[in-house]
Amino acid sequence: MSDMFLSLSRRFTGIIPTLTNTRPREWLRASVGASLGILFSVWLCQQLFGLSVALLLIGPLGASAILLFAVPSGALAQPWSILGSYFLASVVATAVAHYGGHTLDMAALATGVTLVCMFVLRCVHPPGGAVALGVVLAGPALQALGEMAILPVMLNAVALLASALLYNNLTGVRYPKRPAPAIDLHHTNDRSPELRVGITDADMDAALDEFGEFVDITREDLALIIRKTEGSALRRSMGEIRAGDIMSRDLRWATPETSVREALQLLQHHRLRVLPVLDAELKLVGIVSLVDLSDFAGRAGGRRLLRRGGGQKTPLSEVMSSPVVAVDRHCHIVDLVPMLSSQGLHCLPVLEQGQLVGLITQTDLIAALHRDLLMHLN
């Protein structure tokens, strides 16, 4: 008996999927959005085409609402997917019903043809199949519209999409899903530093092609998941190396009232590239670099002023960069790498309870990574 229960439990364990990575707050956000989107779309369709037509099309609308509000980052939930699939389904179904009649076999045919068209035009959206079924097997109210049945179908698609665009972005979910803009700090054709080695676009294309099935995830999200997985694995292999372990502690700093000339002399004397700027309470309020001083020198009269030994009357508050990107002393070294490479930062102030306790430069980071590499080789 116990063996039978064990066998049954294993079977049910294989059927039940693993837990999703979303939180109850996201469940509530998506549920409210789907409800509001459906109410608005059905109300609008009812105003223009009557309640009977709106109710005939409410089934696929509910399925689309779940995709657009619950999984807005999925490939099946993007704007082109819902607009293209609804349009194809209504056109194909109207044509099939016109020539073959409003029968079950014609409805099945319309669904199959619609699916092929969705694959070809890259707008796969499962509710589109329900639209095709509904249009072919529609009641008298929708049949009376004839070839104009496409109008209420597309009205529903546009209304629901507009609701998703507004609601998702207002609630902090970026929709539609777009590739993150490439950061080109140096105005060259080079790829971002973290993309020059490791998994390439060609590797991903080859893997997806070998997989051979439809994957409901955008290429950009897949690449992001891979990079985050690599970072998590690297964090585990490197151990507990934190910002506080590699930072420079003996710092030179200035105040907002320090003159440009004094700051330049301080940087030159200690062979530094950056200088933290602290207020009277020793709170970090800015940072000044050689680039900032170079920009100041490039202004009208600035270069001439520095050559003459001037800059005494110009305080750092006028040239420093603020606010400052800083990290906590417990920040892991893996999290520092993208900040000091692809994000264009050359140093990172380290704070503890709001107070400046150290500074991490690219040199500090490279030395720590080199030491960790040697330890693993040994």
**pLDDT greater than 70 at residue 88:** yes
Structure confidence by residue, pLDDT tens digits, 304-315: 545 555 556 788
Q: Are 337 and 222 in contact (CB under 8 A)?
A: no
Q: Are 137 and 107 in contact (CB under 8 A)?
A: yes
**Span 28-44, mean pLDDT?**
96
d(CA 6, CA 116): 43
Q: Give Cα 151 to chain centroid, integer Å.
A: 34
Structure confidence by residue, pLDDT tens digits, 48-68: 999 999 999 999 999 999 999
237-241, 243-247, 287-291: least confident range: 237-241
- Extract the tokens encoding 14: 């294989």
Alpha helices in the chain (DSSP H): 2-15, 24-49, 51-56, 58-70, 79-100, 104-120, 127-136, 140-143, 150-170, 201-211, 219-238, 243-246, 260-270, 290-298, 302-307, 333-339, 362-377
- DSSP string over 238-266: H-S-BHHHH-B-S---B-TTSBHHHHHHH
**Span 73-101, mean pLDDT?**
93
Q: How many residues does the chain have?
A: 378
Say how many C-beta atoms besides its own lie within 10 A of residue 147's C-beta: 12
Q: What pLDDT is attached to residue 300?
A: 44
Structure confidence by residue, pLDDT tens digits, 353-373: 888 999 998 889 888 888 887
Q: Which residue, 244, 240, 263, 247, is CA-closest to 314? A: 263
| Angular region, 271: left φ>0, alpha ψ -120 to 50, beta rest | left
**Residue type for position 199:** I
Segments making up each domain of the chain, as ranges: 24-170, 193-238, 244-377
Structure confidence by residue, pLDDT tens digits, 152-200: 999 999 999 999 999 999 999 999 977 655 555 556 666 666 666 667 7
Per-position b or e across 85-117, b if 16+ CB within 10 A of its CB: bbbbbbbbbbebbeeeebeeebbebbbebbbeb
- Dmax (CA) for the chain in angstroms is 96
Q: What pLDDT is attached to residue 282?
A: 84
CATH topology for 244-377? CBS-domain (3.10.580)
